[in-house]
Structure formats: structure tokens, C-alpha cells
Amino acid sequence: MSKSARPNPAERLCVAPASTGARAGAALAEDVARPLLETAAAAGIRRVTSRPAGDVERALGQAWPFPSPFRVDARTAPLAEGLDRVEARARRSLERMGLPRGETLLVSRAADLAGAEGRALWDRLEKLKAQGLYRRIGLCAGPEDDPELLGRRFAADVVRLPCNLLDQRALRSGALEALAVAGIEVQVSAVFAHGRLFSGGDAAVGQTPGLSRTRRRLAEARLDPMQAALGFGLSLPGAPVLVVSCASAAELRAMLAAVHASGRGPGPDWAEFALEPAAAGTLTDLATADAA
């Protein structure tokens, strides 16, 4: 196969734009979003995901390149706000982003589907899909939510669930592969373990058994944490989409360099870097970042 014919690993990425302030609930600036989207488009990335909280959607709506090459996913508002509000907010998401239709609408919390109004909530999503506002519908779930069962039960088009170098529960349980075999697109979130792989996550080291050991093993193997995180994600069965949160065009360029570098030569035994399941579960409890 010629070099030009090799697949572009960047096509596996789905960008979740968020400034540093936006991660703490502040607005995403247009002057951050625009170069970020331009960098993504130039790299061959065609997927972008938004969230209803904050001002991310409005900033995206003001920053799309023209013509835009992106397929855009959105997430629902909490069911606690009521079914009518969830539906109205899903419509409003498209308006805020300046889009006639979206790619995928995801239920933000699996617990919303498990409750008494779960089926009614899903019916609202199916209505929006039937009206052509979203091409696909799906859900976000954790390993503890039995994502394979939920995906099959609701005949979801897409399931998004966390899986990363530290928390490999979704891989070990077989959920990733089972969903892919069922014809359900898998999107992997929390690729960077909510920052716990990096020095910025030091506050969590003492609270998460094994985290210091994993960082030490990465250093001994001379593995850059970002390259390791993305290399692990690209190695997952079923070739899932990797949802990566980016704070700037510069940060995305660093990710792209790591993505391309990770494809050079065989990867290590990723299993040796995983935390034990109980410790991996604490990452979710400790995380303050967005699910993406």
C-alpha cells in the first residue's frame, strides 16, 4: 500500500471544543473555537461534539468554517428538567449552532433511560430523528450501566462510553467489541482519563491506588502520556471514534502529532498500564471534567 493510501488516523477523532474556562463552566470564546475548527478541518477530522451546558454551542455556531465539513453530535439536557424541555433543548441546540440538522443526539445520562420515563424520553429522540433533525440517536453510559444491554434494548445507533489507558473496564468486559458486532457505533470518551495521566492530575494520585505506579511505568517505557493515551484508543477493537476535548488549536496540533506518531511500529502491552477495576472506578468519582 502506498503512503498516500494509508488511512488517516485523525479521521477517528471527534473534537469536543472547550476552552480552559469552559471546562469550569465559563464561555467558549469564538477566537478559540474558530482556529480550533480550522485546524481540525485541515487535519481531516470530520466529527465535532457539543454539550448543552455553557456557551459552547453558540461559539461553534459563530465559528464554523465555510463550507463546513463537520458532522455534529449533541447531547440532551437532563431528564429532571422534563420531557418537553429535553425536546425543546435538542431543537435549540441546532439553532444555537446554526445547523439545519445534526448527526447524532445522545442521551447524556444512562440513568435517564433506566427510570420510569426512559421509554418516553427515547420516543422523543425517535421523533426528532423521524423529523430529520438528527440522523442518528444514541446514549452515553458508563461500564457500570451495562452499555451493551442498553444499546440493544433501545436499538441505539451510537453508544458513547469511557475507556482509557487507566480505566480499561469497557475493554475487559467485552462491551466495546459486543457493541461493534451489534452494528452500534462506539464512541470512546474520557480518552485522557480526565487529565489523570498528566501532571495536572497530581491531586488525585494519593486518592487513586496504582496511579503513581502507572505513571512510573509510562516514564520507564519512555512513553509520552498523550501518545500513550491516543495509541491505546486507536488500538481498541471495533475502531471506535475517540472523543477528545481540546482547549485550543495548539492543543489539537499536539494531539494530531501524537496520533500520527502512535501508528509507527507495534504498541506496548497496554493492559499492564491499567488500574484495577475498583481503582479505575474512582476516576469517575474524582473527575470534575466534562464526560468528553
Predicted pLDDT at 239: 94
Residue among 114, 204, 207, 210 nearest 168 (CA): 210
Residue among 78, 84, 37 nearest 56 (CA): 37
- Residue 213 within a domain: yes
- Residue 291 within a domain: no
- Residue 85 within a domain: yes
Asked if pLDDT for residue 157 goes beyond 60, the answer is yes
pTM of the model: 0.90
- Residue 121 within a domain: yes
Please give the sequence-ordered ranges of beta strands (E in DSSP) within the chain, or none if there are none: 13-17, 47-49, 71-75, 102-107, 134-140, 158-162, 185-189, 241-246
CATH number for the domain spanning 41: value is: 3.20.20.100
Taking all residues of the chain, what is their mean pLDDT, rounded to a whole number?
A: 88
Asked if pLDDT for residue 54 goes beyond 80, the answer is no
* Percentage of residues of the chain with pLDDT beyond 90: 70
Predicted pLDDT at 287: 43
Residue with cell 464526560: 291
DSSP character at residue 28: P
- Residue 212 within a domain: yes
Predicted pLDDT at 1: 45
Report yes or no: 45 and 68 within 8 Å, Cβ to Cβ: no
Predicted pLDDT at 153: 96
Domain enclosing residue 48, as ranges? 9-286
3-state secondary structure of 137: strand
Asked if pLDDT for residue 195 goes beyond 90, the answer is no
Residues 6+ apart with CB under 8 A from 11: 44, 45, 46
Report yes or no: 104 and 73 within 8 Å, Cβ to Cβ: yes
Q: Which pLDDT band, with edges at 50, 70 and 90, does 19 fall under?
A: low
- Residue 38 within a domain: yes
Q: How does pLDDT run across 94-147, given as a tens digit for each residue?
A: 999 999 999 999 999 999 999 899 999 999 999 999 999 999 999 999 999 999
Predicted pLDDT at 53: 77
Name the more confident of 205 and 256.
Answer: 256
- Residue 2 within a domain: no
- Residue 4 within a domain: no
List the end-to-end C-alpha distance of the chain, in Å, as a whole number.
34
Total of domains in the chain? 1
Q: Which pLDDT band, with edges at 50, 70 and 90, does 3 fall under?
A: low
Report yes or no: 112 and 254 within 8 Å, Cβ to Cβ: no
